[in-house]
Amino acid sequence: MQDIITVNAIACESVEALKKNVWFIAKKLETDGFCVIDAWDSEIDTLKELASYFGNRQSHIRANEDGIVDVTPGAAIRPSGDQSEYIGTSTSQFNPHTDGSYLNGFLRVEGKLYRIGPPKLILLQCVTQASQGGTSIIVDTEKVLRDLLFMERWHAKVLMTRGSVSFCRDDQLAMDFPVFERTSKHLARVRFRYDSMMYTQHWSSVSVQMLQSDYLVNPRYSTRLKLREGQILILDNYRVLHGRDGIEDAPSHDGGSRLLRRIWIQGDDHTIFANAVSQNPEHTAFGAFEPYRFLPGTMRNGSPVLGMKCGIHLSPDMQMTMDGLLEEDYFA
């Protein structure tokens, strides 16, 4: 098993220290895809303070009114939900994944329709550390994509092709996505989770299996770390996959089991949609996304990190290779 590392956490012993370090935190996120903060305490307000610098919060089916989710064995799920699809509420091993990979639809906010999708950032605050197990696993898909492009060209082409993967959880369905999606000349993003929520087509299944077995479980591309109480892990959900080892603690009522608090930060797509015939119907489908609504006003005004670029950063040689592969017709 890969060694657990001690990361160089950014010390923030007070709110004032956090304010001074926010720009540095953002740059570390852009460079590494994740960052660990040593916060002054493990209170909820500390997590909310940090989150406010990075955007508006995005809620979740299990979140409270502040958009905060308890990630702990035995946590409650929605009444109609399948417990096996909410692995964060179990003690089982959790494969590295993209949070919200199953989200793709419309959300009505103050009379306007916005696209709803996976969050761009995830904040995980350690409240109680697991005595055994629960080690966090972070996979940098920027490194994965680079090696795929230059060593596995055919598989890279498949994984960049729309329709290679689809995702379904409860009443959420995100169909026909590429694993690696080009979002601009300089950026791409990943959408992936290797579990019962993901579906492939006949032409993509071999490449998806290869990605999981040869890359995503390969220690060369991953970092293993164990958060201490009071530390907050920030993850670029467009770039890194995150998971954890199984938890050997038994859930208890006195807070003895591993407990993290999680906040999602709203994604970068702020497209507004309009009805083609200027009507304003309330489709039933819109309601499925209401639990994943944005929480306006939870972002700090004048945040210095609003220009931060989330996602897989493409070097010029990666851009050139991707352009060439996307032009080739491998499926003719």
Query: Consecutive 10-residue runs of the chain (332 residues): their mean pLDDT?
Result: 70 95 94 96 97 94 94 68 61 88 90 92 94 90 98 96 96 96 96 96 97 96 94 98 83 64 92 88 88 90 76 96 83 52
pLDDT, residue 301, reads 73
- Are 83 and 74 in contact by the 8 Å Cβ rule? The answer is no
Sign of CA dihedral 113, 118, 119, 125: positive
In a domain, residue 255? The reply is yes
Answer whether residue 205 is part of any domain. Answer: yes
Give domain status of residue 135, yes or no: yes
Contact assessment for residue 45 and residue 68, using Cβ atoms and an 8 Å cutoff? no
Return the DSSP state at 290.
G
The terminus-to-terminus CA distance of the chain in angstroms comes to: 42
State the pLDDT at residue 76: 63
The pLDDT score that the predictor gives to residue 327 is 82
**How many domains, the chain?**
1
- On whether residue 4 sits in a domain, the answer given is no
Query: Considering the domain boundaries, does residue 265 fall inside one?
Result: yes
Could you give the 3-state DSSP secondary structure of residue 97? Answer: strand
CATH label of the domain that carries residue 114: 3.60.130.10
Q: 147 lies in a domain? A: yes
Burial profile 195-218: b = 16 or more Cβ within 10 angstroms, e = fewer: eebbebeeebeebbebbbeebbee
Are residues 5 and 224 in contact, defined by beta-carbon separation less than 8 angstroms? yes
DSSP H helices in the chain: 15-32, 44-51, 141-151, 153-159, 205-210, 284-287, 316-327
Q: Round to whole Å and give the CA distance between 66 and 139.
A: 28
Q: Hey, what amino acid is at 27?
A: K
In a domain, 332, yes or no: no
Question: Quick check: is 3 in a domain?
Answer: no
Please, are residues 241 and 142 in contact by the beta-carbon 8 Å criterion? no
- Determine the Cα–Cα distance for residues 91 and 72; give it in Å rounded to an integer: 8
Give SS3 for 261.
strand
Distance, in Å, from the CA atom of 254 to the CA atom of 61, rounded to the nearest integer, reads 25
Write out the residue range of the structural domain in which residue 146 sits. Answer: 10-327
